[in-house]
Amino acid sequence: MAILYFEDAEVGQLRTAGPYLVSKDEIIEFAKKYDPQPFHIDEAAAVSSVFAGLTASGAHTFAIVICLLPRAQPYSLRILAGLGWDELRLPTPVRPGDELDLDVAVLERRESKSNSDRGIVRNQIHLRNQKREIVLQCINTVLVARRPVAKI
Amino acid sequence: MAILYFEDAEVGQLRTAGPYLVSKDEIIEFAKKYDPQPFHIDEAAAVSSVFAGLTASGAHTFAIVICLLPRAQPYSLRILAGLGWDELRLPTPVRPGDELDLDVAVLERRESKSNSDRGIVRNQIHLRNQKREIVLQCINTVLVARRPVAKI
């Protein structure tokens, strides 16, 4: 897989990863530990909830994004550090049997004012289910290395 | 625990939860599934990483926020739905043995333009370790029910 530097990141460039198959057992196991609400852990109770069925915790959906991100193809940015996450929305719940696909598009890049060896890249992230409904979207900002200058 | 409606939410109102003790085993178990980088799953490799030791995945730290939120005292807002997360930052890594405390402060409230029975509340969230260093901060926006009008 190609490793790209800051200079190589072009607005609109796309990477993809998936599918990630979400099982009922995984939804329940995650939620029992971190988000034990009836509609995340109890199939019978979930039927009469606002979601009319078992759904994954939002923290679980975010963890799946983190899981898929390093697998995104066909290239990888030379990331130095994660700076943050913005505008995180969960418009459609994740349900058992969903197959989730990630796409990451370069939204913006700008040079670092303080360090000439790095730059800042903002990525638009979408996680979609098999119906192409967005289950999670957010903007991820990362610090990316510039291409090392060849020494003469 | 008191249940508060939209009208009761005042800017600056504070809720707290914790501590949440993070074990080495929990850090490794979470990361093996969702974020298997050496500095999250391999104690020996982590020593020579940029973090100089084992640290929790950011997705794990976010899951701990989700876990602590419903336990926040001394009151609970009558939340109808979560609308999103903004400005999520992870300034200090979480390490084995850390004891994490959550605080949630009302940042802003505004009435819904489309529905008179609800309003929007923005909360500033901080998760801190035992040294009071911020390990996660973000803004959480929720839809909150207004107090039902008594029928005459």
Q: In this structure, what CATH number is given to the domain that contains residue A69?
A: 3.10.129.10
Question: Per the domain annotation, does A150 fall within a domain?
Answer: no
Q: For residue B138, tell me if it sits in a domain.
A: yes
Predicted TM-score (pTM) of the model is: 0.94
Does A83 contact B67 at a Cβ distance shorter than 8 Å? Answer: no
The answer as to whether B73 is a domain residue is yes
Does residue B1 register a pLDDT over 80? no
Domain membership flag for residue A111: yes
At residue A108, the pLDDT reads 96
pLDDT at A80: 86
Span A9-44, pLDDT tens digits: 999 999 999 999 999 999 999 999 999 988 999 999
The CA distance from B23 to A141, in Å, is: 29
For B101-145, what is each residue's pLDDT tens digit? Answer: 999 999 999 998 888 889 999 999 999 999 999 999 999 999 999
Residue A50, domain extent: 2-145
- Residues forming beta bridges with residue A84, ordered by sequence position: A141
* Rounded-to-10 torsion of CA A131, A132, A138, A140: 120
Which two tokens mark A83?
């700076």
**Contact: A66, B87; criterion CB under 8 Å:** no
> How many Å lie between the alpha carbon of B8 and the closest alpha carbon of chain A?
25
Cβ contact A84–B89 (<8 Å): yes
Give A18 to chain B, closest Cα distance, Å: 14
CB contact under 8 A, A34 and B84: no
Is residue A151 a part of any domain in this protein?
no
CA–CA dist A19, A53 (Å, integer): 22
Give the nearest partner residue to B66 out of A59, A65, A138, using CB atoms.
Answer: A59
Q: A118 near A143, Cβ under 8 Å? A: yes
Of B58, B85, B138, the CB nearest to A82: B58
Q: Which residues of B touch A83 (CB under 8 A)?
A: 89
Of A66, A70, A87, the CB nearest to B84: A87
Angle, to 10 degrees, between the axis of helix A24-34 and the axis of helix B58-68?
Answer: 70
Strand pairing category for A2-4 and A75-77: parallel
pLDDT of residue B51: 86
Cα distance from N-terminal residue to C-terminal residue, chain A: 28
Chain A residues with CB under 8 Å of a chain B CB are 30, 33-35, 37, 57-60, 62-67, 70, 82-90, 138
Q: Residue for token digits 């949440």? A: B20
When scoring A32, A37, A88, A92 by the number of chain B Cβ atoms within 10 A, the one with the most, hence best to mutate, is A88
ipTM of the predicted assembly exceeds 0.90: yes
Tokens linked to A138? 């957010």
Using CB atoms, pick whichever of B37, B64, B87 lies closest to residue A86.
B87
Q: How many domains are contained in chain B? A: 1
Residue B115 C-alpha from the chain's centroid: 27
